[in-house]
Amino acid sequence: MSVAATDTPKAPKTSRDWDMAAIAPFIALALLLLLGYFANPNFISVANLLNVITRSAFIAIIALGATYVISSGGLDLSVGSMVAFVASLMILFMNSGTIGDPMLMLIAAMILATVLGAACGLANGLITTVGRIEPFIATLGTMGIFRGLTTWLSQGGAITLRDREMQALYRPVYFGTLAGIPIPIVIIFVTAAIAAFVLYRTRYGRHLIAVGSNEDVARYSGISVNRVRTIAYVVQGLCVAVAVILYVPRLGSTSATTGILWELQAITAVVVGGTALRGGVGRIWGTVCGAFILEIVGNIMILSNFVSEYLIGAIQGAIIIIAMLVQRLLMRR
Amino acid sequence: MIAVAAEAPLLDARGLSKTFGIVEVLKDIDLSVRAGEVHAIIGENGAGKSTLMKILAGNHLPTRGEIRMDGQPVAFASPVDAEARGIVLVHQEILLAPDLSVAQNIYLGRELGRGLTVNDRAMNEGAAKAIADLGADIDPKTVVSRLSIAQRQLVQIARVLLVPHRIVIFDEPTASLTPHETEALLKVIKQIRAKGVGILYISHRLPEVKEIADRVTVLRDGRLVASHAAAELQPADMARLMVGRDVAKLYPDRHAARARETVLDVEALDVPGYAQNASFRLCKGEILGFAGLIGAGRTELMEGLVGLRPAHGTVRLNGSPAHFSDVHGSLKAGVAYLSEDRKGKGLLLTKDLRVNLTLASLGKFTSGLQIDRAKEAQALDQAIKDFDIRTGTKTILAGQLSGGNQQKLLLAKMMLLDPQVVIIDEPTRGIDIGNKEQIYKFIAALAEEGRSIIVVSSEMPELIGICDRILVMRSGRIVGEVTGEHMNENEIVGLATGVTAGEAA
């Protein structure tokens, strides 16, 4: 115990602020980078690392939303299907040619994706809070609905952005750079910074953590639990929309299998990042780190010849279990 | 009934002490239990009764002291060890699986088998016999969730008595029972005693202690203050020994409330399933008590009033109608409710003091979008000073505070909202005497500032000590009001139980 009980103008920082659960993911990331270097020295090149981080953008951004939902004590299994559904509608809208000017059309399409993402999130939120259905079941249901609607929209095939001019205009959003940094990486960090600010510095963020930590205490403190939870799902929907806006220019096409198992990867990134699945603790930068770890593991598997790259799914599944075990061990101490 | 003096005690404990951290909760307790006697342990909340029982039942190891059974020293590392020696504990809370049947609960974890399957017939017969032995009549196939609280209590006792036992510990078994049910339970305990079993009976209901006990031991602040044959003590003597100090000193001096304007006017408030037709008024600067047995609907009435439960009726605050659909609304109007369940509903135990303090009033600490952490830290310093919250460091988690300091933190949290009406449910439950005295002082000071206070409590001395008026509830209804010289335990018990004072004593 310290003797800091005397009046100090600022809250004293103690070692508790740096507990193991918070820094464990960053240590894991550092170890992985080292491992990657030994497996294949090309791995550590700037070009390769930028490439890997760029590819983690979709999962990282979706996982930021998942951090909100999970911190509030919820769960969203529908994000992968939601990506496919929102992206398909976005492409169909751009193909419809309702707006002549390509630039205006692109902006309108992005706004549409944002609204659709928020609406899908709102639906998830209302079903779990007002409908009082367990988040696991509610989002399992919407996962099926979004996936089914995508399959129906694409009639089992692919939905492809047809307009060449539009493709050329939209392409830099994924492939472009800003001051030499790929735009997806910029977007990861900007989104994470906003998410961190809201979670750690605003009233809503504090309420979210309170609701996830103990719903009754939140209610008895005058916090509207349902409103806080619903907004968390809307935030998740908005993150999915941002991911979609980045995803569409990459391939310019969606199908019934777009975003499959992304919910698994997003939840894995959140848990690897140190956020507790039972709620009440949210670690934004840990989540970003978790998403990087997932992508880097895949990259190392491809660059090295130790393990078949077809085992990526299995490895990612193992990572979530290992992360939970490590969390539990750190918690017990 | 009368213990033979020459007979060696079943259990003999010497010099038991227990320390949690730096807090000594038990010091040098000597205690013995003989076969065929009821030995009552009485004391206020926080006197150390539960800790003592948990040591005897194997939940805690004593820090010092020894326990002998049949002259041999024993040490219980777990409740299983204690059970193996024949010591069983009947918990105060009902610990049964509500969706299983009576027989399934009684045999839970020790099911009778027949090959690979369970032998339901044998278990139903065994359960029926165990319950009949207690003089009750419950169908062993009934699902527990359909039983009354008293019946569940009996099932729990039957379950415990299935273990071969020599000593049975009852931890406040009548806390949630009606007088009639209590009477029946005392009969059951007398039957168990008649079989030569030693019984430790914990309670702070003195008339029933007087009725059932052969010996009485009084604990106060973790020490044994007296041990007498029950015949030598009247309930009034027991009360004096329990409180042990000038009662007037524990409670702050209060100026007699003058006739003041009504702040809160509740008319015919119904909280479906819990409280009916509750009407009362609360004046400025008044402390109004709510007494009643557990389950009388006091907590639920208050929760209905502040919007935590559905409720219908007329509520007027300062003369204008008010209806709160959630706590946000009631807090905004200046009515704060402090839950009796501090750990479950009052504080975030895994968060630090700062987060807890400002949770209900974050609006005051937000400038623009951002929470002003420096201002929060300042408020915490102020609260620690104003409410004398004892904490080594400010980065401690709320769950690491003692019960008394948690209550002070909760009080500080709600006072940040500057409420006009403060409703405090069980303000001193699980709190030691020193902190109790401080909390009473805070409550009196809040009233002195012109706030109106409602205190809901099961501790009658505390209500009598600090309240201006006391309303008594029974089965969801306000059945009477006591003021002035009528504010005494007999009057309150009479109203709370519906039995006249003479019969109850």
Residues 6+ away with beta carbon under 8 Å from A289: A25, A26, A28, A29, A272, A273
Hunting for tokens 């024949």 — which residue is that?
A: B86
Of residues B256 and A125, more confidence is placed in A125
> What does DSSP assign to residue B325?
S
Task: Collapse the DSSP code of A126 into the 3-class scheme (helix H, G, I; strand E, B; otherwise coil) and give the result.
Answer: helix
Residue of A nearest to B347 (CA): A217
Mean pLDDT score, A49-68: 97
What confidence tier does B447 reach under pLDDT thresholds 50, 70, 90? very high
Is pLDDT at B203 greater than 70 in this prediction?
Answer: yes
Lowest mean pLDDT among A291-305, B253-267, B313-327: B253-267
Torsion of CA A77, A78, A84, A88, to 10 degrees: -170
Strand partners, B199: B38, B168
Is pLDDT at A20 greater than 80 in this prediction?
Answer: no
Task: Collapse the DSSP code of A160 into the 3-class scheme (helix H, G, I; strand E, B; otherwise coil) and give the result.
Answer: strand
pLDDT digits (tens, 9 = 90+) for B13-28: 999 998 877 678 889 9
Chain A interface residues (partner B, CB cutoff 8 A): 1-2, 4-5, 7, 9-12, 14, 16-17, 197, 201-203, 206-207, 209-210, 213-214, 216-224, 280
Distance between CA atoms of residues B232 and A202, nearest Å: 64
Cα A115–A116–A122 angle (5° rounding)? 90
Contact B453, B447 (CB under 8 A): yes
Is pLDDT at B417 greater than 70 in this prediction?
Answer: yes
Query: Pick from B394, B131, B236: which is nearest to A11 by CA?
Result: B394
ipTM: 0.86
Distance between CA atoms of residues B159 and A30, nearest Å: 56
Residue of A nearest to B341 (CA): A217
Residue of B nearest to A213 (CA): B348
pLDDT digits (tens, 9 = 90+) for A99-121: 889 999 999 999 999 999 999 99
Is pLDDT at A48 greater than 50 in this prediction?
Answer: yes
Q: Supply B11's token pair.
A: 């259990």
What confidence tier does B258 reach under pLDDT thresholds 50, 70, 90? low
Is pLDDT at A13 greater than 50 in this prediction?
Answer: no
Domains in chain A with CATH codes = 46-331 (1.10.3470)
Average predicted confidence (pLDDT) for chain B: 88
Is pLDDT at B6 greater than 80 in this prediction?
Answer: no
Is pLDDT at A3 greater than 70 in this prediction?
Answer: no
Chain A contact set for B377 (CB, 8 A): 9-11
Residue A52's pLDDT is 94
Distance between CA atoms of residues B392 and B395, nearest Å: 9
Q: Which of B328, B339, B392 sits opposite A224 (nearest CB)?
A: B328
3-state secondary structure string across B66-129:
EEEECCEEECCCCHHHHHHCCEEEECCCCCCCCCCEHHHHHCCCCCCEECCEECHHHHHHHHHH
Lowest mean pLDDT among A161-165, B42-46, B255-259, B374-378: B255-259
Written as one letter, the residue type at B384 is I
Distance between CA atoms of residues B406 and B491, nearest Å: 33
Q: Which of B346, B355, B366 sits opposite A220 (nearest CB)?
A: B346
Residue B45's pLDDT is 67
Q: Supply B185's token pair.
A: 């339970």
Residue B505's pLDDT is 39
Q: Element (H or E) spanning B29, and its range?
A: strand B23-33
pLDDT digits (tens, 9 = 90+) for B449-499: 999 999 999 888 889 999 999 999 998 999 999 998 888 888 888 898 876
Task: Collapse the DSSP code of B270 into the 3-class scheme (helix H, G, I; strand E, B; otherwise coil) and give the result.
Answer: strand
For residue B176, the Cα-to-chain-centroid distance in whole angstroms is 10
Is pLDDT at B340 greater than 60 in this prediction?
Answer: yes
Distance between CA atoms of residues B428 and B406, nearest Å: 11
Residue B133's pLDDT is 83
What confidence tier does B500 reach under pLDDT thresholds 50, 70, 90? low
Residue A332's pLDDT is 60
What confidence tier does A22 reach under pLDDT thresholds 50, 70, 90? confident
Residue B114's pLDDT is 83
Is pLDDT at B205 greater than 80 in this prediction?
Answer: no
Residue A42's pLDDT is 87
Residue A2's pLDDT is 37
Chain A contact set for B375 (CB, 8 A): none
Mean pLDDT score, A203-209: 96
Of residues B299 and B1, more confidence is placed in B299
